[in-house]
């Protein structure tokens, strides 16, 4: 168990480049060895079959030569070359004697070729000759291939070929056993094995030389990723990897890595801008506050109660503005973190809009306010307080940016079966077209100078951003359209 752990630990410490090289080389060794074994087995089989055929042909040629002067019906036996093994029958008179010339003729046909006669059941008819035990001969004769490869007493391989001798009555009268040394085949096979071995070693060497740099090339993007992530860790978020053209795992990894970087960079930039915006927004009221406090401290009001009241009222307004902003930021943070709990309930649109309408009346400074609710609206599922907050925010904007002579309408209409559209429409100053796409961005103001005018105290550019988040968190949608100088509809 511990040994296994050590081995695993050791393997894990080998660089991936080497591991991949070893794995591909290991596979190559396996494949080449399998191929080598198959090739040498097939080559040996082909050579042996070839030699068997040569010996059978030689036997046939010798038989024809020996008995060519005899009439076919006088010939003592024929050769069975059709691989049928007929039942045994009585041997002709002087069988060994008549067969002798055939045996000599075969012996003389090839070097190291030696022919003897066996009885049909495998016993040798010629004493002191190399022969196979009768049982084994019988076994071979029952099989499909009438030959045998075996070692002789000196350890040399010998090939034995058996051909039944058949009488004119189609009985086996004996078996012709031809043996020969397989030295030529063995020599060829040795040379073949050596060539194969050297070929495999050469191929492996070449594979090693090529695989290592190729694996290195394939892993290059990983090295790039590692190098880039090190630079990113030092703060260089704008860095990107040059992804390989391939659509493989590494290509996809490089591309997702780049995507992740882009998202990180955007998030980081947003975060930085957010902090900068917050500091910027807090600086104005804090400067106003410290100025007013300083004036009070140095007694710049000269004991004038009215001047003191104006100064403290200004300070109170700034504190209120900061308070509102901090509240808004807190709400946004909760929304971002998904921590803002929404209490969804079924609410009737009439009640909701009438409440908002009544509260808006206190905010109006001369504008004509109206509320129009389409009859028989379906009830809606929403967090009543949050939706009210959103509507009030939008109404507040409409009243802020509409002159006293203008008009602000609060409408509710049915849209399809189950959807209700709540509309706040004003005849105010409108929003410039170039500002419209950014109107829901945090801290965005279409006209910052006007938003900060005494009449518009409190505008921090967070109202619509919060409204959008709150509406979308409840499954709704918020849209704005506006014509400069004519009015705005949310
Ligand atoms: P603020 O607190 O500054 O009003 P908002 O997010 O509510 O922030 O609005 C962002 C900006 O959109 C405002 O500063 C203003 O320039 C513009 N805006 C919003 N509503 C209206 C409107 N009804 N008419 C004209 N401009 C508007």
* Closest C-alpha to 80, from 158, 141, 149: 141
Chain mean position to CA 209: 29
Measured from the CA of 480, which atom of ligand 1 is nearest?
Answer: 20
Q: Is the CB of 398 under 6 A from ligand 1?
A: yes
Residue 330 backbone dihedrals phi, psi, to 5 degrees: -60, -40
Q: Is the CB of 387 under 6 A from ligand 1?
A: no
For a pocket test of ligand 1, which of 367, 397, 461, 468 has the largest count of ligand atoms closer than 8 A to its C-beta? 397
Q: Is 138 exposed, middle or buried (0-12, 13-18, 19+ CB in 10 A)?
A: middle
Q: Is the CB of 420 under 6 A from ligand 1?
A: no
CA pseudo-torsion sign 93, 95, 96, 98: positive
DSSP notation for 68-132: TTS-GGG-S-EE--SS--PPB-PPPTTHHHHHHHHHHHHHHHSTTEEEEEE-TTS-BSSTT----
Separation of 448 CA from ligand 1 center, angstroms?
Answer: 9
Measured between alpha carbons, how far is 394 from 431 in angstroms, rounded to an integer? 14
Separation of 268 CA from ligand 1 center, angstroms?
Answer: 26
Q: Is the CB of 428 under 6 A from ligand 1?
A: yes
Measuring from atom 19 of ligand 1, which residue has the nearest CA?
397
Separation of 422 CA from ligand 1 center, angstroms?
Answer: 18
Spatial contact of 230 and 262, defined as CB atoms under 8 Å apart: no
Q: Is the CB of 461 under 6 A from ligand 1?
A: yes
Q: Is the CB of 77 under 6 A from ligand 1?
A: no
Q: Is the CB of 460 under 6 A from ligand 1?
A: yes
Question: 328: Cβ–Cβ under 8 A, 6 or more apart, which residues?
Answer: 460, 462, 463, 466
Measured between alpha carbons, how far is 413 from 473 in angstroms, rounded to an integer? 21
For a pocket test of ligand 1, which of 446, 462, 479 has the largest count of ligand atoms closer than 8 A to its C-beta? 446
The three-state secondary structure class of 42 is: helix
Separation of 313 CA from ligand 1 center, angstroms?
Answer: 25
Measuring from atom 8 of ligand 1, which residue has the nearest CA?
461
Separation of 138 CA from ligand 1 center, angstroms?
Answer: 110
- pLDDT value of position 449: 55
Helix/strand/coil percent split, the chain, to 5: 55, 15, 30
Q: Is the CB of 445 under 6 A from ligand 1?
A: yes
101-121 burial: b if 16+ Cβ within 10 Å, else e: ebbebbbebeeebbbbbbbbe
- H-helix segments, 366-462: 384-400, 448-451
Measured from the CA of 424, which atom of ligand 1 is nearest?
Answer: 23
Question: 398: Cβ–Cβ under 8 A, 6 or more apart, which residues?
Answer: 408, 424, 425, 426, 428, 488, 490
- pLDDT value of position 1: 60
Q: Which ranges of the chain have pLDDT less than 70? A: 1-2, 110, 128-131, 448-459
Q: What six digits make up the tokens of 22? A: 């070893």
- pLDDT value of position 160: 92
Q: What six digits make up the tokens of 174? A: 């004996």
Q: Is the CB of 439 under 6 A from ligand 1?
A: yes
Measured between alpha carbons, how far is 372 from 413 in angstroms, rounded to an integer? 9
Measured from the CA of 451, which atom of ligand 1 is nearest?
Answer: 14
DSSP notation for 4-15: HHHHHHHHHHS-
Q: Is the CB of 431 under 6 A from ligand 1?
A: yes
Q: Is the CB of 488 under 6 A from ligand 1?
A: yes
* Closest C-alpha to 60, from 94, 116, 102: 102
Q: Is the CB of 464 under 6 A from ligand 1?
A: yes
Q: Is the CB of 469 under 6 A from ligand 1?
A: no
On whether the pTM is more than 0.75, the answer is no
Give me the count of residues in the chain: 490
Q: Is the CB of 463 under 6 A from ligand 1?
A: yes
Measured between alpha carbons, how far is 78 from 60 in angstroms, rounded to an integer? 9
- pLDDT value of position 131: 66
- pLDDT value of position 238: 85
């Amino acid at each position: 168990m511990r040994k296994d752990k050590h081995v695993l630990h050791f393997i894990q410490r080998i660089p991936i480049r080497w591991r991949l090289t070893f794995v591909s080389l290991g596979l190559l060794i396996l494949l080449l060895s399998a191929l080598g074994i198959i090739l040498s087995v097939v080559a040996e089989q082909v050579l042996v079959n070839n030699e068997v055929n040569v010996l059978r042909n030689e036997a046939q040629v010798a038989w024809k030569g020996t008995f060519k002067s005899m009439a076919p019906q006088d010939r003592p036996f024929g050769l069975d070359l059709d691989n049928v093994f007929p039942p045994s029958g009585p041997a002709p008179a002087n069988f060994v004697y008549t067969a002798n010339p055939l045996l000599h003729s075969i012996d003389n046909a090839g070097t190291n070729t030696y022919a003897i006669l066996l009885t049909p059941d495998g016993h040798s008819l010629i004493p002191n000759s190399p022969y196979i035990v009768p049982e084994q001969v019988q076994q071979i004769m029952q099989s499909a291939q009438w030959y045998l490869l075996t070692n002789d007493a000196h350890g040399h391989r010998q090939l034995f070929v058996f051909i039944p001798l058949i009488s004119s009555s189609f009985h086996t009268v004996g078996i012709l056993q031809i043996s020969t040394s397989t030295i030529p085949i063995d020599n060829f096979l040795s040379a073949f094995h050596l060539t194969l071995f050297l070929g495999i070693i050469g191929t492996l060497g070449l594979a090693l030389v090529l695989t290592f740099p190729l694996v290195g090339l394939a892993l290059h993007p990983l090295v790039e990723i590692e190098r880039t992530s090190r630079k990113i860790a030092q703060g260089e978020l704008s860095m990107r990897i040059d992804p390989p053209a391939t659509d493989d795992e590494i290509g996809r990894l490089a591309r997702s890595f780049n995507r992740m970087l882009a998202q990180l960079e955007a998030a980081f930039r947003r975060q930085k801008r957010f902090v900068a915006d917050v500091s910027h927004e807090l600086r104005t009221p804090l400067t106003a506050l410290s100025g007013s406090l300083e004036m009070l401290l140095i007694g710049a009001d000269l004991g004038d109660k009215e001047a003191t009241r104006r100064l403290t009222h200004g300070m109170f307004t700034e504190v209120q503005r900061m308070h509102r902003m901090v509240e808004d930021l807190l709400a946004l943070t909760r929304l971002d973190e998904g921590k803002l709990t929404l209490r969804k309930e079924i609410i009737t649109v009439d009640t909701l809009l009438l409440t908002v309408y009544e509260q808006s009346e206190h905010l109006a400074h001369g504008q004509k306010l109206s509320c129009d609710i389409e009859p028989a609206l379906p009830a809606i599922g929403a967090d009543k307080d949050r939706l009210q907050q959103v509507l009030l925010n939008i109404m507040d904007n409409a009243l802020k940016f509409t002159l006293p002579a203008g008009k602000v309408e609060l409408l509710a209409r049915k849209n399809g079966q189950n959807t209700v559209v709540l509309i706040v429409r004003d005849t105010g100053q409108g929003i410039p077209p170039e500002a419209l796409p950014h109107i829901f961005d945090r801290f965005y103001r279409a006209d910052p100078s006007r938003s900060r005018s005494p009449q518009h105290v409190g505008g921090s550019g967070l109202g619509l951003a919060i409204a959008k988040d709150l509406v979308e968190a409840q499954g709704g949608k918020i849209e704005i359209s506006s014509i400069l100088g004519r009015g705005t509809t949310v």
